[in-house]
Structure 1
């Protein structure tokens, strides 16, 4: 069909009627007042025979397409159908003619204002002309540029056209059912002008604006009175409830005061927040930010993170975190309201949040000034953990023995969980159900004495050196520490790149192919033997890792080694400039040992022996800090391997489309699918969850703290007032200058020697990029986060908790990073060397 009345459309008609028309039909179906009308479908547009060549489209070609559309004679049957539908609206009715593209009003590309709208059109001939002009606007210069900027193929462009009876509007405008500036769900914002509302949408006038807060009586003024505003608020609330999300609404009010709706679409840019269970204002801290995950989690990944955090819940609940984690569209939150409002718990919560994901703690501290979070309790000192000092002292005296023993026992603990290989799917399922909790709690269950001894030795040494050494000088003693699984991984990959360079055939492969080609060659056994053998050895040890590795649903390097080959190519290129990461790391270790000797020399005579003993012991033991996470990833890899086996089984039976879809099921759903064949709805549920996941993956900014009314409190550090100066938190000491390299996906990025890595956050999967980097800048992080720990060990400056760093710093911009002061100066020339 080429012409369809709006009331006959369903949610399945998006491809032929477009999102706008389908939304109008949905509003009609829910009983809202929508002007009558019809849609001229994409099938009608297809009949005029537009042909577009593949690739870029220049202005001349677009102009030619527009001219051809406007000159085209419409088929007689289409002319009759549009004329008949128009006359059904009333003789010579005034109508609005608007686009309704299937690609319009999407989360990732709204196409707002890209296509033409024609108002107050009367007469069938004029309506037909307006339809053709809407079609032609699909090829306007602005629409073509918009598609090009969003990477959309022009050949896929299609358009339907909505024709609706005009409302004789006394006033019209737009309504946001949440406050688009503050994000508050408790407020709506309306903008209005007299007459039709097109001037509001186009920005041609300054409209009257109204903030409708809660149940307060609205303040009528301008072109809307209090009664109008009450009706708008009621309609907005009903739309939001009916469509299950905040809405962006276009409306018109006629002379009788009736509210007519001419468009609604979800406000998908608003960050999703949990609903308060009791209606009171609540504060939430992002588990994603805490984990350094600036992307949503797969459902299975979220399940496993919840299990991991339950293993650590005793301490977290003691400082005000909720015992359970809430999941909204793949974003996980702790309810931190208790800790914010309790003066006894807040200091520990603030310190914990800033240590791991600054400036989260400072944002939380700022909430204490909000009268809605009335303070309770009295600040008091935490008793601290109980320790057995005998084993700790033994670790100090024999640190290498303690380190080796801790590594051996930790790996034995993980290997013991692997167990025999089950055969049938039901056995695989039983193994997963029996072991997933234990695997997720590996970090909490590993032997801790040597690790604790290292951290305690460092803190005690710092106390002994108070007055003779600043914290940065003490931190400098921990560059190049041994036995850190993360730095060992990075250096192992560097050595593999150097070995490949020394082998002519392997070197030629790295220099002449991209990472995807090399990964495919590796998969099919076509790589040069030395390079293939090196990759086998590397993946056998570190294939469990990947960027954003805390999401079990993401493929590991062992599943897809493309990011590893990308790093190898970058390392080989860096080596050709004379750069040597292994030598740099060794030099950092020598400098650290010299720093230890210098600080011991400065210490008062009666403290020298103890300070030197503790610093030396701490250096031998501090690398163990990264061991629990590595062991967890080994367990994750085994758990993921078995889940994927079940995914293959379910895909083979047609329960799932593909094996990886298993990561979009819950454990209960997996059990039902494996044992009972499922309920037949698994594929649809997976598709729906994947769509949400892919939509949310497009978000560029993830707030660390959100309130249940949608507000996002911000951290505004005291600065110099200079636009060329950014402030964060000192993560690793030192001063370095170089061009900034903005990176959001470490799997495809390369860092040239001397560049400054600027990114949202880091985890061990990012650290291979550190080898070449002159410095590191992150939007979140803390003194004990993985990124700052590794940066200190490599001896490169790091500044963390720099709000908006990836947008305020431009790719290639020269910047100077002062890791001792926690500052970034923009526009400075590179300093010589590192």
Structure 2
């Protein structure tokens, strides 16, 4: 730790969200993963933000007024949040804090260009997506400009959008603090977003890469349609190359500019297939480190990838934990009972204790793993018949899964999950141990 207010990115990890915010914590974690390159930089901690907020006693009253507003009263939120932002931007940064920032800049190169990025403590969390709620400033040059943009990042905790999001989600404005990440700018040939699970289908084995020329701002802001690549098992399985008419480039004097792309280049892919596959390999490494599918912002500099952000994908439905990497097919218990809402913990526990088959929890709902029943030809037909009588759409869905070549491997009838071929009823009739076992299971269940 260099000073109380300034921490190098390499000193930070995911346990320090309270000090460096979600973005800072994730970038620190990324910079520790072998083979992952992150632009060098430092974090200005939430202690600095708290100190600035304490410099303006009027903010307390403004926050009280804000918390009393109705989230639908957009005009009042717009006016009051703009007032709070003006107050924060008007606070002079104390000398010792400004000196800590300029010392950190001197170590990295004072006249280099930097990205100044907001990093709130309620951001990039597994349970809520605060993406785009606060501000990022690119290609900021000179310590005076960097200090000014640090103040703007602090103020961006109170953009109208961020305030409304917190009000709607019941998050107290006073419990969220702002850190700031200052990183050396990278000037990429191409940039974009990598989802390590397909965000549309939820398929965790298919990664999606969105790519465009220049800085990633052109994609994030919706200025251009990206090239889209889909990768499965280390191969590009689908791609759509867009006509990319514009790109965002950094200006030598600071700031960014939208530029038109030469007509011959517009329909060239921003990445080669080999680069896409290499990028997805890096994404899988990042996903393994954080333990969940990731939404990753990347830049291609020369012929190497640099990672500028990684956050959990919060829109994917969770899947039950398994101890293997095999395919599994689950059927929802609740849907079979016409209970589509999430269950309360007591309900989940009751079902799991008394059910005759193991029930797996995900997303507040219970599921039965039916892979073995579908894998055995002897049990498959009967199982599909039972499912179809309860809900024809579930049967259709299971048949669609079975049509995917090799997704559910076919087991011989004598294998686990299916009765021995030919003498199923005879073996049950002549084995009294089964009855004893069923009685014991029932007694355990009741107990």
TM-score between both structures, scaled by the size of structure 2: 0.75
Between the aligned partners of 1:259 and 1:279, the Cα distance in structure 2 is 28
Q: Which residue of 1 aligns with 2:242?
A: none
1:744-793 residue CA offsets vs partner (Å, 9 max, x unmatched)? xxxxxxxxxxxxxxxxxxxxxxxxxxxxxxxxxxxxxxxxxxxxxxxxxx
What is the CA-CA distance between 1:325 and the residue it aligns to? 4.2
Aligned equivalent of 2:68: 55
Aligned counterpart, 1:669: none
Write out per-residue CA displacement over residues 464-507 of structure 1, whole angstroms, 9 at most, x where no aligned residue: xxxxxxxxxxxxxxxxxxxxxxxxxxxxxxxxxxxxxxxxxxxx
Structure 1 stretches lacking a partner, 5+ long: 314-323, 385-434, 443-638, 640-834
Counterparts in 2 of 1:186 and 1:95: CA distance versus 1, 3 Å: same
Question: Matched residues in 1 for 2:9 and 2:325: separation?
Answer: 38
Q: Which has the larger radius of gyration?
A: 1
Q: Which residue of 2 aligns with 1:207?
A: 226
What is the CA deviation profile of residues 375-402 of structure 1, one whole-angstrom value per residue up to 9, with x for unaligned ones?
7899x9xx99xxxxxxxxxxxxxxxxxx
Partner Cα separation in structure 2 for residue 5 and residue 127 of structure 1? 17
* Aligned counterpart for 2:314 among listed residues 265, 268, 272: 268
Aligned to 2:428: none
Which residue of 1 is the match for residue 182 of structure 2? 163
Q: 1:59–1:304: structure 2 CA closer, same or farther, 3 Å change rule?
A: closer
In structure 1, the residue matched to 2:113 is 94
Pair 1:11-2:14 in alignment:
yes
**1:13–1:439 distance in 2 versus 1, CA, 3 Å:** same
Do 1:171 and 1:196's aligned partners in 2 also have CA atoms closer than 8 Å?
Answer: yes
1:104-253 matches, cutoff 5 A = 104-216=123-235, 222-253=269-300
Kindly indicate whether the alpha-carbon contact (under 8 Å) linking 1:178 and 1:189 is maintained by their aligned counterparts in 2: yes
2:193 and 2:325 mapped to 1: Cα distance? 28
Structure-2 change in CA distance of 1:60 and 1:279 (3 Å): closer
Instruction: Return closer, same or farther for 1:331/1:115 CA change in 2, 3 Å cut-off.
Output: same
Residues 1:36 and 2:40 are matched in the alignment: yes
Matched residues in 2 for 1:297 and 1:350: separation? 29
Measured after TM superposition, the shift of residue 131 of structure 1 is 0.8
Shift of 1:156: 2.7
Give the distance between the partners of 1:279 and 1:40, measured in 2 at CA: 40
Per the TM alignment, residue 371 of structure 1 is displaced from its structure 2 partner at its CA by 3.8
Structure 1 residue 137: Cα displacement: 1.5
Structure 1 position 340, deviation (Å): 3.1
Residues 52-91 of structure 1 aligned to structure 2 (within 5 Å): 52-53=63-64, 54-56=67-69, 58-91=77-110
Distance, in Å, in 2 between the alignment partners of 1:107 and 1:357 is: 33
Q: What is the number of residues matched between the two proteins? A: 377
Q: Distance in 2 between matches of 1:354 and 1:343?
A: 17
Matched residue SS, 2:68: coil
**Structure 1 CA distance for aligned equivalents of residues 215 and 229 of structure 2:** 18
- Distance in 1 between the 2:171 and 2:153 partners? 20
Cα distance between partner residues in 2 of 1:356 and 1:440 = 29
Q: Which among 19, 38, 49 is matched to residue 45 of structure 1?
A: 49
Q: Which residue of 2 aligns with 1:258?
A: 304
- Is the 8 Å Cα contact of residues 129 and 314 (structure 2) preserved in structure 1? no
Residues 1:93 and 1:436: Cα distance change in structure 2 (over 3 Å) = farther
What pairs with 1:589-628 in structure 2 (closer than 5 Å)? none
Distance 2:121 2:440 in 1: 43
**Is the Cα–Cα contact under 8 Å of residues 89 and 151 in structure 2 kept in the other structure?**
yes
Conserved 8 A contact 1:304-1:440: no
Q: Please give the per-residue CA displacement for 1:709-743, whole angstroms capped at 9, x wherever unaligned.
A: xxxxxxxxxxxxxxxxxxxxxxxxxxxxxxxxxxx
Say if 1:58 and 1:341 are closer, same or farther in 2 by CA, change over 3 A.
Answer: same
CA distance in 1, matches of 2:189, 2:329: 42
- 3-state SS of 2:189 partner: strand
Please identify, of 173-182 and 221-230, the stretch whose mean Cα deviation from structure 2 is larger. 221-230
Deviations 1:96-148 (A, max 9, x none): 11111011122443221121110011100010111111112211222222222
Q: Quick check: which one's helix share is greater? A: 1
**Quick check: 1:96–1:120 contact (8 Å CA) kept in 2?**
yes
Does the CA contact (< 8 Å) of 1:101 and 1:159 recur in 2? yes
Contact 2:128 2:314 in 1 (8 A): no
Instruction: Say if 2:350 is the partner of 1:350.
Output: no
What secondary structure, in the 3-state scheme, does the structure 1 residue paired with 2:193 have?
strand
Q: Is the 8 A contact 1:339 1:346 kept in 2?
A: yes
| Structure 2: gaps of 5 or more residues | 54-58, 70-75, 240-267, 414-420, 426-438
Structure-2 separation of matches of 1:111 and 1:374:
41
Q: Is the 8 Å Cα contact of residues 95 and 121 (structure 1) preserved in structure 2?
A: yes
Q: Distance in 2 between matches of 1:284 and 1:167?
A: 45
Aligned partners of 1:439, 1:93: CA distance in 2, in Å?
Answer: 73
SS of aligned partner of 1:47: helix
Residues 692-711 of structure 1, C-alpha deviation per residue, up to 9 Å, x if partnerless? xxxxxxxxxxxxxxxxxxxx
Displacement, 1:219? Answer: 7.7
C-alpha contact (below 8 Å) 1:340/1:365 kept by paired residues: no
> In 2, Cα distance between the equivalents of 1:353 and 1:25?
49
- Contact 2:199–2:315 (CA under 8 A) maintained in structure 1: no
Separation in structure 1 between the aligned mates of residue 280 and residue 14 of structure 2, nearest angstrom? 26
How big is the shift at 1:439? 6.2
Deviation at 1:24, TM superposition (A): 0.9
Q: Measured at CA, do residues 41 and 366 of structure 1 come closer, stay the same or move farther in structure 2, by a change above 3 Å?
A: same
Give the TM-score normalised by structure 1. 0.42
Give the match's secondary structure for 1:211: strand
